[in-house]
Amino acid sequence: MFPHQVQVYVFFPPSLHAFIPLLIPSLTVKQQYSSTKSKKKGRTEMALSNNVIGAINFVAMLLSIPIIGAGIWLAMEPDNSCVKLLQWPLIILGILVLVVALAGFVGAFWRIPALLIFYLVAMLILIVLLASLVVFVFLVTDKGSGHPAPSRAYSEYHLDDFSGFLRRRVRSPFKWDGIRGCLSSTNMCAELNQSYRMAQDFFNARITPLQQSGCCKPPTGCGYTFVNPTYWISPINNAADMDCLQWNNEQTQLCYNCDSCKAGLLANLKSEWRKADVILLITLIALICVYVVGCCAFRNAKTEDLFRKYKQGYT
């Protein structure tokens, strides 16, 4: 009937602007619909970011397992259990990572900003501590290579070759008395007698530095004659080294007072600490990646929340 649409413009005086929603209800409905849609979209985006943060914190919880496991493994080794240097810091650090990651996990899924902020700050501190520990272990185990013994398959170690930090752990008579008593209570030397009956078999054996360097036998340079791995006949002149005078065939004494025994202990520690340090380094890299992703997700969640509030105020 009407070939063309007719647009009608209605001008309201300023005094009636407050009554426009009452006069044209469809305008209010449209505004409310737009506002509701914006709120739902903002909540969905923020929930997605929180889910990402929660998943990241769950991964961080899993990454605490290698740290705790490395500490438990060191605690189960006879030499580390006697020295008690690295295992407890690792176990405590791993537990702290687990607790902080759990706090972030709870804060993400229950949307508790205070817990998320605590997670970001505390995890950064723990990452710095873990990185410091990785560097420290690498530095104190950088020295201490073995010296090949003549006509032997194993090497021997000298105490002065190791770092000052490790040497101080065993040079104090008070500290070494406790370590020596702990070592002598193990069966590491007695088991050599069961495994090697002949001299040549013992000389060709691949035994641990703690056994081969001088705790269970006299140093090679002393010239003792083999009877069995823990019983040796003294040469006529054994004054070449103080460790030669320290050797005693008494099974509770052997060479536990020798510097070569202390060097063998440090060589064992170095080997085991290096293995633990590799695990810590891999865990550290993974934790840093997880932390960076968590920071990005938290920043996106805050940005989306602010943008949503701004749009609501604008509309």
Please compute the mean of the pLDDT values over residues 45-52 and round it to a whole number. Answer: 54
pLDDT in tens, 216-270: 888 888 888 999 999 998 886 666 678 888 888 998 889 999 999 999 999 999 9
Q: Count the neighbouring beta carbons within 10 Å of the beta carbon of residue 174.
A: 6
Report the pLDDT value the prediction gives residue 232, as an integer from 0 to 100.
92
Question: For residue 265, which of 195, 221, 216 has the smallest C-alpha distance?
Answer: 216
Please compute the mean of the pLDDT values over residues 209-215 and round it to a whole number. Answer: 80
Angle formed by the axes of helices 113-140 and 25-76, nearest 10°:
30
Residue 278's contacts (CB-CB under 8 Å, 6 or more residues apart) are none
What integer best gives the mean pLDDT of the chain? 79
pLDDT in tens, 76-106: 988 888 888 899 999 999 999 999 999 988 8
Residue 104 identity: G
Residue 306 has pLDDT above 90, yes or no: no
Beta bridge partners of 254: 248
Global pTM value: 0.77
Residue 122 has pLDDT above 90, yes or no: yes
Question: Which CA distances in Å does 93 have to 19, 84, 188?
Answer: 65, 15, 31
Report the pLDDT value the prediction gives residue 20, as an integer from 0 to 100.
45
pLDDT in tens, 126-174: 999 999 999 999 999 998 888 888 778 788 898 999 999 999 989 888 8
Q: Count the neighbouring beta carbons within 10 Å of the beta carbon of residue 283.
A: 21
